[in-house]
Chains A and B, each alone.
Chain A
Amino acid sequence: CQKSLLYPTPTTQISDISAFDTPERIFGQVYGLYGQLKDGNFFGERYQIYNEVRGEEFINLKGNAFTALQTWNFSVNSNAQEVENLWSSAYKTINATNVFLDGMTAKGNTIVDAATADNYTGEAKFIRGLSFYSLLQLYARPYWDNPTTNPGLVIYLEGNKNPASYQKARSTVADSYKQALSDLDSAENLLPESYEDNSKGQNTTRATKGAAIAIKTRVYLSMGNYDQVIAEANKIVSPAAPFQSSAGLALVANIKDAFASINTTENIFSLPFTSADVDAPGTQNSFAEYFLPSSLGGKAEYSLNASGIVAEATWGASDARRDFVTISGGSPYLIKFSTPSPYTDWAPIIRYSEVLLNLAEALVRKNNTVNAQAVALLSAVRHRSDPSVTYTTASFASATALLDAILLERRIEFLGEGLRGPDITRQGIAFPAKGAASSTAPTSPNYIWPMSADELNQNKLAVPN
């Protein structure tokens, strides 16, 4: 008899037994981790959309629970599809990185050379750290609120592959942040400055040392650890203008280039989409589908809030970023992401301008003065889009005025990119009212999302928010 037939080698899927057998398969898995990260329920692109519509800049037009209505009006329950799906998608990504890291230890490190193995390990840790941090923004109380007692994430660092009950308590917020930072520190050490082959924008679509550092400035800012924001940012921001990193990260001259061609020095890390079925964002997942008016091929799920940032008087008409707003049927819409179905705009995860503004904010908050470098950083961002404006320290009467200007700049600069929700919660301010949705105070239980009902049902050690 043919005993080997008892241990089949399927021809349409690759068995876990042989997944680490060749350098090509291991490389395929690295790309697979990015593929998980850009799952429609996570960074491709619902995570950013949810965080965006929690803020005050968008108005829900369709009243559809499947396109974030309840997140927009702060009525999500623990069994809301977004609450359950994002939690589960993010953890599939995290577990995939764990399974990959285990496989590298068990076999992969002997198949590829040491430098490549380090690079891949760094990429996996970057993805895991980014995932942990991002989950904290929705499912955990902000860092300023008792981080050593409030519940954070369920943390697994080993791959889960077997049938088991997987009962595990949530770590604290502080410990969860610590884990995210540990992953990003490790990634920084292991990742290259850039990739030899940048023919398809690998420097943007794969994690780099700069990307790990950039994400860390975001993480530390959320934690209110301004010293560390400054320390991290200084690794990739030159002391004086023109601000740039040794690896060439810098603002592009025209912000539209950062969305048109995507693979620029400004796009530190982005997730790509193509029109192929399994590489496109899928239905009801993409920025353009939600935000584009139907005249431009979107589904017009959300218009911009006419009394939101678009009404800001200090946002000049000649600002290039005003071109990201169009009026359709009397309402303003965001057209930053402008490719119609299958909506193949790349999803920016972090841009160089965020690092500059993170650094600027940290400098102001740390010193509580009208910090000259902070002004220069802010000015670089504003001046790039509106050449009529150049800030000097004289432009700001106080540190508070400068801080307000930086925070305002963030709303303009990152409109639609998913930073607004975390920017509100880290400051501990209320979510403003908009349209039919009322204001949500930091003390409200709805200030963050509830814990996934699936998690509470299956993991008896998990506690609700």
Chain B
Amino acid sequence: QNNRTVTGKIIDETGVPLAGVTVAIPGTRTGTVTNATGLFSLNIPEGTKAVKVSFIGYESQTVSLTDASDITIKIKPDNKSLSEVVVVGYGTQKRVEITGSIGTVKGTAIAQQPVQSFDGALGGRVAGVQITVPNGVVNNPPVFRIRGTNSISLSSYPLIVIDGVVSFTGDIGSTAAPTNPLAGINPNDIESIDIAKDAAATSIYGSRGANGVVFVTTKKGKQGKAKVTYSGWVGEAQAQRLPKLLNAQQYVDNKNLGIAHAAADGKNLGTSFAINEDKNGNPINTNWLDVVYRKAVSHSHAISISGANDKTTYYMSAGFTDQQGILRRNEFVRKNILFNIDQKVGSILTIGGKISYANEKNLSANSSGSLEGEAFNSGGLARLAFLTGPNVSPYLNDGSYNVDGGVIGTMGNVGVQSGIYNPQVILDLDRSNSINNHIQSSIYAQLRPFSWVTLRTQYGIDQNHIDNELYENPISGDASPTAEAINATGIYNRWVWDNTIQFDKSFGKHSFSLLGGTEEEKSTKELFGIDRTGQNDPLFNNVEGGWQTTNPISSPVNTYNYLVSEFGRLNYNYAEKYFISANLRRDGNSNLGKNAKYGNFYGLSAGWTVSNENFWSHSSLGKTLNDLKLKASYGKVGNASISDFKSFSFYGSKLYNGDPTLYYSQAGNDYLTWETSKQLNIGLSFGLFDSRLHGEFNWYRNNVDGLILFVPMPPSAGVPTTIPKNIGSMYNTGEEIALGATIINHKNFTWNSDFNISFNRNKITNLYDGATQIISQTSGLESVSVQKVGDPIGMIFVTRTAGVDPANGKRIFVAADGQKFEFSLYGGGDGLANKWMTTDGKTTTRSVSGADAVAYKKTNPTFFGGWDNTFRYKSFELGILATFQAGNYVYYGTNAGLKDQRYWNNSTDVLHAWNTPNQKTDVPRVVYGDNISNGSSFPLDVNVFKGDFIKLRSVTLAYYLPGNVLTSTHLSSVKLYVSSNNLGIWTKYPGPDPEVSSNGNNPGLQGIDRNTLANGRTLTFGLNVGF
């Protein structure tokens, strides 16, 4: 028998060579394993048609042999693998044993995404997980919801656990450049993200589990020789779907038309707008969008060195990324380094740890107007971009800034403003930066005195030292004419110490795993700094320079919270058919009332792998439906993310006649405790055709009780502050479907597809005594959201209208009682403003206002999801991730501004404003100064739109350099790709993006688009090289 030698290389789907992979001849004992560089050499008998490649954690693959003697075989991770493990909190568990609801995202899926932090790239990948990127400001935390919104006053952001240490979340900076601490991890360093959704999976985190738990695991070295990789990309981003604005001529004509209409109504305003000329005598026609937005350039680079032998495992990486925002001067720059090591000491002890350092620069000129609380900022740059008159220019003809008394100059306009601040001045001179020096580090020791006992202790820190540095110029902006510089240090420090003991033992077909542990965690927050005004010279633009006044910053902070816990978990299974799991946790939390510090939380779950029953696997149905598992869970988890010290009663200190005083300043609640969430989950997972098609279905219901609300009290009680009280309740219920399939599995062409869709229904069932609704404001100004008993959280709250009267062009408003009234700014002919009339033209003393608003539409989608496809053809790979949602509405408040008939520039919609009798249009007759008819004064239903969309979230085309080329270059893998985020969007929403939030993560204020910066579309080119 003639033998021949086949040599080859085994690589993973990203082209990285894999060591230790078994290559064998099917049906024989002949085989070998790949060496450290992924190479193998195997003697095969003549006539052998195929080899079988198998590796733990990867799909086994039988590869047909050709005459070629040197082959490269790519294998891909096996999502269904029996050995696949899932991070479950203080440990891992085999996926097949999981009875809770946990979704997993592989690190490879997000590694090359042009995002600042991983959370922004999770959208559409896991059922039940909704990610809303609120705007195009870089490093802004996304709105992150797991199974709906589970709180009204507290955070609805899930708990993020990075390598066993709970991370800070949200915007922890104090400037206009948001500072998401999750950006401290280079997405490239993430191995996997496991998202726990039901109480069975989250109850091990007890009082913090109600919003779900996200476990982030960073990469470790793998057995074999040292592996070195480089990955990098360069790209550009551009704003998309910006509103179409009037040009200078249209603006001047429209405003003068409004002035003429006012005059026709009996009000001579004595103002006018004019076309101005630049120094060359050409008419000025400024597109302010071009002044504020830009084509942003970004690049990112990371190298890693990793490896492992039987004693030592190590991984080290360093990264640099510089990502510009589409808003000029907005930028994110991160330098980071990560090192982890695990060392076996003797036979029973392992010691290891990690250190991660990141210098995260979040840069901005000044407010984009897009963060929570900023929507109506006078200097909000996104708003200035569409508000400022196009007939004035950033510069006067002598080259100096066009500024008059701090606001933009009017040039030839008479008696009117042309805008608020000159955005060019702000963009040139201001600074609002937060620089986070961020250390995440941990060390552990693990002892296994017996094979079935594991003792482990881990101490971890998450330290954020943030330098908030602001400067506002004296020429145009909020600090004009004195200028202002602020330097404030923010310190967010946390330490976590946990100790666990775990017993794993099997008796025959009975398998037990028992975990017990304790944890302590302390988090401190500090913010302090100085605020200087009265610039002595334009040179002095930092606090260290020469200024006239020095004050402390207005709201210094020095608080902490402490958590102490005991927890346990028991997993039992019989013959891998019947599974039971129980979790218990007792938490003590310093932020709660002194009589309610401790709480107990639990989760119980059970599973039945029907397909492991003989009757099933031997049946004909079992041959097709090869995998079927039923599961159910119930548990109680909590949410205690209330601000530090809110439950306490305090005395503050002021002065009386220059002497110190103490005064009763905060009323507390000794019984303030967590919001509790009782969660029921029933699900099944299945695999068909040898799991070529697999899926999971879950139904859940979360009843949230004891919602913390700040209940108003009669003033006569004299209590100095509203007191937080556990009083409201609501529920979320829904269904999740996830399907995965290998649709085509051809030698040269494969198509894998994963689809998920989630339905969620939210309802508030109780607020506090006597309250049926709580009205919530955007940026403290616009009452456009309402929390109402019987409705979902965050209903849009607007006043109804009934079109534009074709006879006279007036907006018809609907009062709370259903009566209709028409509004005209100067309709009375007496020169006085704000006239209301009945629809038959009679003057009336009635008026319609924000007090007539109704809970109009919901902002939660009926369903949302994602569809992820991977096509592979030879060395090419095309990935397409589409996300979608439907059933929600968005309040496009920006649109009110875009039709505001004061000096503001308008969208081209106003060109079809009513102008002749019997004209049918949805834009009322323009009257200069009218800010009521289109919704600027109080919010109107005409600015509420459906938020349904389908988005091409991510499209990537990659090319893997073939093995023969690689061999000659001494590289082990090379991947080239081109990728785009937000390549396309299909929506009827008229604003830039229905995925938007003017109120950040605020639970009750979603679905509001008020003066927000648009989102960008990115295009990147990338290169990954393995050496």
Contacts and interface: CB of A to CB of B under 8 A. Distances in A.
A452 B716 CA distance: 10
A450 to B, nearest CB: 14
Given A16-B649, A455-B715, A32 B654 contact: yes
Nearest to A30: B661
A7 B651 contact: no
Contact of B715 (A35, A88, A274): A88
Interface string A80-124: 000010011001111110111000000000000000000000000
Nearest to B768: A165
A165 B713 contact: yes
Of listed B715, B723, B725, residue having the most chain A CB within 10 A: B715
A462 B714 contact: yes
Interface of A: 1-3, 5-8, 10-16, 19, 25, 28-29, 31-36, 38, 84, 87-88, 91-96, 98-100, 153-154, 156, 160-168, 200-201, 205, 272, 274, 276, 278-279, 452, 454-455, 458-460, 462
B655 A8 contact: no
Contact of A455 (B653, B654, B714, B720): B714
Contact of A1 (B518, B558, B670, B720): B518
23 contacts: A6-B588, A7-B597, A10-B645, A13-B651, A13-B652, A14-B651, A16-B649, A84-B715, A88-B715, A93-B718, A154-B714, A156-B718, A163-B669, A163-B724, A165-B769, A166-B713, A201-B657, A205-B657, A272-B657, A276-B658, A455-B714, A458-B712, A459-B716
B395 interface: no
B718 A29 contact: no
B521 to A, nearest CB: 10
B775 interface: no
Interface in B617-652: 645, 648-652
A460 B770 contact: yes
Contacts of A35: 654-656, 661, 663
Contacts of A29: 651, 661-663
B654 A278 contact: yes
Contacts of A161: 649, 667-668, 719
B520 A32 contact: no
Interface string B268-291: 000000000000000000000000
Interface string B552-569: 000010111110100000
Given A25-B662, A31-B660, A91 B717 contact: yes
Given A95-B717, A163-B669, A462-B716, A6 B654 contact: no
Contact of A91 (B520, B650, B652, B716): B716
Interface of B: 518, 520, 522, 556, 558-562, 564, 588-590, 594, 597, 645, 648-671, 711-720, 723-725, 769-770
A335 B657 CA distance: 23
Contacts of B664: 16, 32, 95-96, 99-100
Q: Can you list the 3 inter-chain pairs with the closest CB atoms, starting with the nearest?
A: A95-B718, A32-B663, A459-B714
B747 to A, nearest CB: 60
A32 B718 contact: no
B327 to A, nearest CB: 34
Nearest to A19: B651
Nearest to B562: A5
A92 B714 CA distance: 11
B713 A458 contact: yes
Contact of A163 (B558, B562, B723): B723
Contact of B658 (A2, A274, A454): A274
A279 B662 contact: no
A33 B652 CA distance: 12
Given A2-B562, A163-B725, A460-B770, A16 B668 contact: yes
Given A15-B648, A32-B662, A6 B590 contact: yes
Given A14-B651, A36-B663, A200 B725 contact: no
Contact of B651 (A32, A153, A459): A32
Contacts of A153: 716
A126 B658 CA distance: 21
Contact of B558 (A11, A91, A168, A459): A11
Contacts of B663: 29, 32-33, 35-36, 96
A160 B719 contact: yes
Contacts of B718: 91-96, 98, 156, 160
A29 B650 CA distance: 12
A5 B716 contact: no
Contacts of A460: 770
A454 B714 contact: yes
A7 B657 contact: no
Contacts of B558: 10-12
Contacts of A454: 712, 714-715
Nearest to A98: B718
Nearest to B561: A8
B713 A13 contact: no
Given A15-B648, A92-B720, A274-B658, 19 more contacts: A2-B564, A3-B564, A13-B650, A35-B654, A92-B718, A93-B718, A95-B664, A153-B716, A154-B716, A156-B718, A160-B718, A161-B719, A162-B670, A163-B711, A163-B725, A165-B769, A166-B714, A274-B655, A276-B658
Of listed B597, B650, B663, residue having the most chain A CB within 10 A: B663
B600 to A, nearest CB: 16
A6 B597 CA distance: 7
Contacts of B659: 31, 200
Contacts of A96: 663-664, 718, 720
Of listed B562, B668, B714, B719, residue having the most chain A CB within 10 A: B714
B911 to A, nearest CB: 38
Nearest to B727: A163
Nearest to B564: A1
Contacts of B770: 460
A16 B562 CA distance: 20
A58 B310 CA distance: 92
A117 B829 CA distance: 69
Given A11-B558, A458-B713, A276 B655 contact: yes
B267 to A, nearest CB: 19
Contacts of B657: 31, 200-201, 205, 272, 274, 279
Given A6-B562, A32-B654, A168 B660 contact: no
A139 to B, nearest CB: 11
A278 B714 contact: no
Contacts of B589: 6
A344 B892 CA distance: 47
B648 A10 contact: yes
A279 B658 CA distance: 7
A156 B650 contact: no
A458 B771 CA distance: 10
